[in-house]
């Protein structure tokens, strides 16, 4: 097996474990490279189908190309694709910095969806190498009734064993891509020929390295206009993948506060 084969096999094992242990289950699909790659592996895990809903937490501020790609892939892959409207910014904690406050709308939308639909599991395509706070995550991350996250209260995950017992009102965030890197994802996309939003490719000297809402996400300087060029660029990169995410630079603890409150 190649390194990508091993990464893929571990992800598919986690996906199947979540499906058989947690009911009901859904997956958050941001339509970015990571969650679309995860969706590809879900389809592999279940012989071409996706046996649970995939949800876009929608603030109305996604880039136009993201909405267009979502509609195209949902139709092509026959997905149970759902749109979860997020509450307005004026309902969000005013003590948060502006960009973090805008991002927290998705947390509020997610909490409302879990409370309404009683999900025991919510699958999310985050990776440990994206951000230092996410490096503390578990594959099966227990959340309390308010959706909050306490990294000190997470169970140990050894020998491929996951704790999946829940108390009333709790749910798990399931993270099948934690062990992947940004470079792994792009190499996998190239190998598998996975479709992706074209905003990742450079145009006029800029491209998006990470996709978020258009009011708090910005492109980076880049001439990488093909998959091979993106991979070569990342092999030499020393800057953060989230360099274009405004909320990561507002205050030292802004992202940690968001994660503790239930952000993805």
pLDDT in tens, 127-138: 988 876 767 788
165's tokens:
């017992």
Q: What is the pLDDT of residue 163?
A: 76
Cβ neighbourhood burial of 218 (10 Å; 0-12, 13-18, 19+): middle
Give the pLDDT of residue 145: 72
What pLDDT was estimated at residue 158? Answer: 66
Within 8 A by CB and 6+ apart from 91, the residues are: 108
Decide if 73 contacts 33 (C-beta within 8 A): no
pLDDT value at residue 100:
76
Residue 130 confidence (pLDDT): 83
Report the pLDDT value the prediction gives residue 142, as an integer from 0 to 100: 87
For residues 187 and 109, give the distance between their C-alpha atoms in angstroms, rounded to a whole number: 32
**Domains present along the chain, CATH in parentheses:** 3-180 (3.40.50.620)
3-class state of residue 29 by DSSP:
coil
Q: Is the peptide bond before 24 cis (omega within 30 degrees of 0)?
A: yes
Which positions of the chain have pLDDT values less than 70? 132, 134, 151-154, 158-159, 242-264
């Amino acid at each position: 097996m190649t390194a990508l084969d091993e990464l893929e096999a571990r992800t598919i094992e986690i996906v199947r474990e979540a499906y058989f242990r947690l009911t009901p289950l859904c997956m958050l699909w941001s339509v970015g490279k990571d969650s679309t790659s995860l969706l590809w592996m879900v389809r592999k895990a279940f012989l071409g189908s996706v046996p649970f809903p995939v949800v876009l937490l929608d603030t109305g501020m996604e880039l136009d190309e993201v909405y267009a790609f979502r509609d195209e892939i949902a139709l092509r892959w026959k997905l149970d694709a759902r749109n979860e409207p997020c509450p307005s910014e004026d309902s969000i904690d005013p003590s948060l910095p502006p960009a973090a406050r805008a991002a927290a709308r998705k947390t509020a939308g997610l909490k409302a969806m879990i409370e309404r639909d009683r999900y025991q599991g919510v699958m999310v395509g985050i990776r440990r190498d994206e951000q230092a706070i996410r490096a503390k995550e578990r594959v099966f991350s227990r959340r309390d009734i308010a959706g909050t996250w306490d990294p000190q209260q997470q169970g140990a995950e050894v020998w491929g064993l996951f704790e999946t017992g829940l108390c009333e009102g709790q749910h798990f965030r399931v993270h099948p891509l934690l062990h992947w890197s940004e470079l792994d994802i792009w190499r996998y996309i190239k190998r598998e020929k996975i479709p992706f939003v074209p905003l990742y490719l450079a145009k006029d000297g800029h491209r998006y390295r990470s996709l978020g809402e258009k009011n708090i996400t910005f492109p980076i300087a880049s001439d990488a206009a093909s998959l091979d060029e993106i991979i070569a660029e990342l092999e030499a990169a020393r800057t953060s993948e989230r360099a274009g995410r405004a909320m990561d630079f507002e205050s030292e603890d802004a992202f940690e506060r968001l994660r503790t409150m239930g952000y993805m």
